[in-house]
Amino acid sequence: MDFELPEDTRMVRDTVSRFVRNELIPHEALIIRREAERGFTDTPLIPPELDAKLQHTAREIGLWGIDVPEEYGGQEFGMLAKCVVIEELKHSIVPFVLPPESPNLYLLRELCVGSQIDRYLLPYARGEKKSCIALTEPGAGSDAGAIKTRAERRNGKWVINGTKIFISNARRADFMIVLAVTDPSRGAHGGMSAFLVDKGTPGLTVPTGYPMIGEYHPYEVVFDNVEVGDEQVLGEIGTAFKPLQKRLGVRRLDIASRCLGLASRCIEMMIEQANTRTTFGAPLADRQTIQNWIADSFQEMEMVRWLVYRLAWRIDRGDTDFRRDGAIVKIQSTEMIGRVADRAIQLFGGMGVSKELPLEYIARMARVLRIVEGPSEVHRWVVARDLLKSGLPSS
């Protein structure tokens, strides 16, 4: 069993680390100010001109299409490399994302056929189009099988009606992956289908956003007799639930990698402060409590890192049944960063909760992560249910 990262992954990691240090961290004060001033608006935290500049720089240094297949113009480094890249990027609070910017790539790769490849998959993989997934509803959050949005067959078209909430990127997406019920009698397994819906399609509106804690700003999406043709059915009718679970698992790995990067930043700041700050005639580094905070934070981060890397390795080997392990990394990573950020704030005292430092920003951002993509309680239920049904897995 080899625990060493492959050489090409280490090289990508080092490139991203330099990019973060030179291109992202210098803009953190700007991001903190824009987030504080945003209020109830959905002003992007990165100014568009800065985002364009960062995207250009990233492309020039080879940070493009990390997990995109070579046949679509990408580098296809795999999931482990992608996790390492995300971890390094989130060493900064600047919300910069390398395109394609969400796990929708894995859903599109698996399901796109015919004209869908040129119309949606390829421009998405090249970073020319943005997407979002419309799943959550007022009565269906963690329970994806409870969605009520309907897609009915009328006059040779599929007509979609319903309301989605908490949909990230809805106003800036060029197209949506919409989950809808096509056969209520069959439930989630057999009655749920996915559709590709373009921005500007008649009947599709994004009437409001939800100002929330941290940088998260999702939207409400309404479908009022939205018509799409058969060419916009993603996959087969009635078969959306299983590939959706895989996409959600990849997203949870993405979130866990973000938590690792944020935790690393917090611990780095804790170590520096402990070694330079003196109180009552002695450095903080000499205080047993401070030592415990740093030791516990590092151990918790390392344990999560190996859970994340192991799951990414499994996916790269072709494993498609990782719902339980996806739930585990989601629980452990999001709860870990909450504890680490809290210790870092406590170590810094008043400055820790000020906007002079990124720690209070990290703490608020981290709190959201215990809820989005399934709360910890639901993921614990998933893990327990699997173990009670199948027993303890072999090592």
* Known active-site residue 373: yes
Q: Which of 194, 217, 234 is the last residue of a domain?
A: 234
> Which tokens is 311 given?
């799951």
Do the domain assignments include residue 395? no
Sequential DSSP letters for 187-206: -HHHHEEEEEEETT-TTEEE
Range of the domain at 151: 131-234
Do the domain assignments include residue 2? no
Mean pLDDT for the stretch of residues 103-131: 93
Residues 220 and 281 in one domain: no
One of 35, 137, 360, 373 is an active-site residue; which one? 373
Residues 338-387: tens digit of each pLDDT: 999 999 999 999 999 999 999 999 999 999 999 998 999 999 999 999 99
Q: What is the pTM of this model?
A: 0.94
Q: Which of 201, 234, 267 is the last residue of a domain?
A: 234
Please state the domain count of the chain: 3
Do the domain assignments include residue 16? yes
Residues 110 and 145 in one domain: no
End-to-end CA, the chain: 13
Mean pLDDT for the stretch of residues 260-289: 97
Q: How big is the CA angle at 283 (ends 26 and 298), to the nearest 5 degrees?
A: 60
What are the distances in angstroms from CA 349 to CA 70, 269, 345? 49, 13, 6
Q: Mean pLDDT check: name the lowest of 28-37, 236-245, 262-271, 305-314.
A: 236-245
Q: For residues 194 and 179, is the Cβ–Cβ distance under 8 A?
A: yes
User: Shortest CA distance to 332 belongs to which of 299, 362, 367, 376?
Assistant: 376
Residues 122 and 136 in one domain: no
| Residue 234: partners with Cβ closer than 8 Å, 6 or more residues away | 107, 108, 111, 112, 116, 177, 193, 194, 195, 196, 240
Q: CATH number of the domain that 145 lies in?
A: 2.40.110.10
Residues 112 and 194 in one domain: no
User: Distance between CA atoms of 382 and 395, rounded to whole angstroms?
Assistant: 19
Q: Which of 77, 110, 126 is the last residue of a domain?
A: 126
Residues 211 and 268 in one domain: no
Do the domain assignments include residue 34? yes
Residues 225 and 316 in one domain: no
Count the Cβ atoms, other than its own, within 10 Å of residue 177: 24
Do the domain assignments include residue 1? no
User: Distance between CA atoms of 189 and 253, rounded to whole angstroms?
Assistant: 24
Residues 36 and 86 in one domain: yes
Backbone phi, then psi, for 194, in 5-degree steps? -115, 145
Residues 262 and 304 in one domain: yes
Query: Residue 263 above 90 pLDDT?
Result: yes
User: Shortest CA distance to 80 belongs to which of 151, 181, 9?
Assistant: 9
User: Distance between CA atoms of 297 and 196, rounded to whole angstroms?
Assistant: 43
Residues 140-195: tens digit of each pLDDT: 877 777 899 999 999 999 999 999 999 999 999 999 999 999 999 887 778 999 99
Do the domain assignments include residue 178? yes
User: Shortest CA distance to 334 belongs to which of 316, 358, 355, 307?
Assistant: 307
Q: CATH number of the domain that 319 lies in?
A: 1.20.140.10
Residues 182 and 279 in one domain: no
Q: CATH number of the domain that 12 lies in?
A: 1.10.540.10
